[in-house]
């Protein structure tokens, strides 16, 4: 590029994630250093998991004896490995008072300095999203969601601290272990994406201020379940397929929420995981998957709904609660909601 004036400021100096966190920490309305340290520990865990995901295909070749690795430890499934890596990295940093994970039945309490319950943040994670794709070398991800505790610091963290509506999130993001590894996150001031340079282990700001196009031409849904979908979703899918105007749209479904969402945010599209008669609340988890993705979507100008209500307004009642999920480009989600309204259950 010859005209340096036309290069955005941040790109001109190859901003790293570490620099970006420090430069932007004053935007955070609470103690800025704490959130920075928290994002930093997620960045570190993501590198560890990335390393393991990247050599997943080698496990059988490198493993010495059945399911035991060279250190004599049991080889773990990658989702268990990722779960442990994130929990370990988030513990002992005197910031997090509790972690809830898709892989754990109950939340974990974390004590801070001098065994006190002084830490202020709870983290909720889906350590490995799209895990059915690992064996076939298709992108997987990690999703994280951060809240400030509601209960007083100094007391043990409680379930109430985790059961907050998504609009209370102070930060949320995902890591995508794809053709390249990226961290995409928001602290409520837009969405930024950082790509890992694996040669030096540094994330660079590659996607500043990410925005969902308001309209898109991609719909992502597991159409194998079509006959079980609610009528509103069936009608919307037929609308997507109809030859009219800029339709038919293209169908793209990886089966890994992080990857489907990431593609749709860049290209414009809608992701739908509806309820069915068998699964009246759908499949996806409100706290570990839908809330963080919904915050990112809204911060990027998109929308997220259960068909009738904004995802971020839902008051959770249990840790592993599920919800139908419609998320993506604003006008597409509004159109789908319109079809849902026509068949609203009484
Ligand atoms: P996880 O691997 O964390 O259990 O999540 C899988 C989720 C989500 O990532 C994906 O979009 C969806 O399940 C796919 O479900 P289907 O195989 O039913 O389409
Ligand atoms: Mn998942
Ligand atoms: Mn998972």
194 shares a domain with 236:
no
For residue 212, being part of any structural domain is answered with no
Write out the H or E segment, with its range, that includes residue 92. Answer: none
Atom 3 of ligand 1, nearest CA residue = 129
Which residue minimizes the CA distance to atom 2 of ligand 1? 130
Q: How far is the CA of 231 from the centre of ligand 1 (A)?
A: 22
Shared domain for 47 and 90, answered yes or no, is yes
Is there a domain that residue 346 lies in? no
Indicate left, alpha or beta for 154 from its phi (over 0: left) and psi (-120 to 50: alpha): left
223 lines ligand 1 (CB under 6 A): no
What is the CA(129)–ligand 3 centre distance, in A?
4
> Looking at per-residue confidence, does 200 or 5 come out higher?
200
Q: Report the CATH number that the domain containing residue 307 is assigned in CATH.
A: 3.40.190.80
Least confident among 28-32, 48-52, 64-68: 64-68
287 within a domain of the structure (yes/no): yes
Q: Answer yes or no: do 136 and 157 share one domain.
A: yes
55 or 245, which is more confident = 245
For residue 102, the enclosing domain spans 4-207
189 and 231 belong to one structural domain? no
- Reported as a pLDDT band with limits 50, 70 and 90, residue 6 is very low
Which residue puts its alpha carbon closest to atom 15 of ligand 1?
Answer: 255
Question: In terms of domains, do 88 and 197 share one?
Answer: yes
**CB contact at 8 A, 192 and 23:** no
For 106-158, write each residue's pLDDT tens digit. Answer: 999 999 888 888 999 999 999 999 988 888 889 999 999 999 999 999 999 99
**What are the tens digits of pLDDT across the range 190-220?**
999 999 999 999 999 999 999 999 999 999 9
Looking at residue 345, its pLDDT comes to: 79
Answer whether 126 contacts ligand 1 (Cβ < 6 A). Answer: yes
Q: In this structure, is residue 128 part of a structural domain?
A: yes
In CATH, what number is assigned to the domain containing residue 174? 3.30.540.10
Is pLDDT at 31 greater than 70 in this prediction?
no
Mean pLDDT value across residues 47-68:
69
User: Strand order of the sheet with strand 303-305?
Assistant: 250-251, 218-220, 269-273, 325-328, 303-305
In the chain, the number of structural domains is 2
């Amino acid at each position: 590029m010859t005209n340096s004036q036309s290069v955005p400021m941040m790109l001109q100096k190859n901003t790293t994630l570490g620099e970006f966190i420090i430069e932007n920490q004053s935007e955070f309305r609470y103690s800025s250093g704490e959130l920075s340290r928290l994002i930093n520990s997620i960045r570190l865990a993501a590198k560890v998991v990335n390393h393991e995901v990247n050599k997943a295909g080698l496990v059988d070749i490198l493993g010495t004896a059945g399911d035991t690795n060279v250190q004599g430890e049991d080889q773990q499934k990658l989702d268990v490995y990722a779960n442990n890596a994130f929990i370990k990295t988030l513990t002992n940093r005197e910031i997090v008072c509790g972690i809830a994970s898709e892989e754990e039945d109950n939340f974990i309490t974390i004590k801070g300095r001098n065994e006190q319950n002084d830490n202020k943040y709870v983290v909720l994670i889906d350590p490995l999203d799209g895990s059915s794709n690992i064996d076939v070398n298709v992108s997987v991800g990690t999703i994280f969601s951060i809240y400030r505790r509601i209960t007083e610091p100094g007391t043990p963290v409680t379930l109430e601290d985790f059961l907050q509506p998504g609009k209370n999130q102070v930060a949320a993001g995902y890591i995508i272990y794809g053709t390249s590894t990226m961290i995409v996150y928001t602290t409520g001031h837009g969405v930024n994406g950082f790509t890992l340079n694996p040669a030096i282990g540094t994330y660079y700001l590659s996607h500043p201020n990410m925005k969902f196009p308001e309209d898109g031409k991609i719909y992502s849904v597991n159409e194998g379940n079509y006959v079980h979908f609610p009528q509103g979703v069936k009608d919307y899918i037929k609308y997507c397929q109809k030859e009219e105007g800029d339709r038919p749209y293209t169908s793209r479904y990886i089966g890994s929420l992080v990857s489907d969402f990431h593609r749709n945010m860049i290209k414009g599209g809608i992701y739908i995981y509806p309820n069915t008669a068998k699964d009246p609340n759908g499949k996806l988890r409100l706290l570990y998957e839908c809330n963080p993705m919904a915050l990112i979507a809204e911060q990027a100008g998109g929308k997220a709904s259960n068909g009738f209500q904004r995802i971020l307004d839902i008051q959770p009642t249990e840790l592993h609660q599920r919800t139908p999920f419609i998320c993506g480009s604003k006008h597409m989600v509004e159109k789908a909601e319109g079809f849902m309204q026509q068949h609203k259950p009484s």
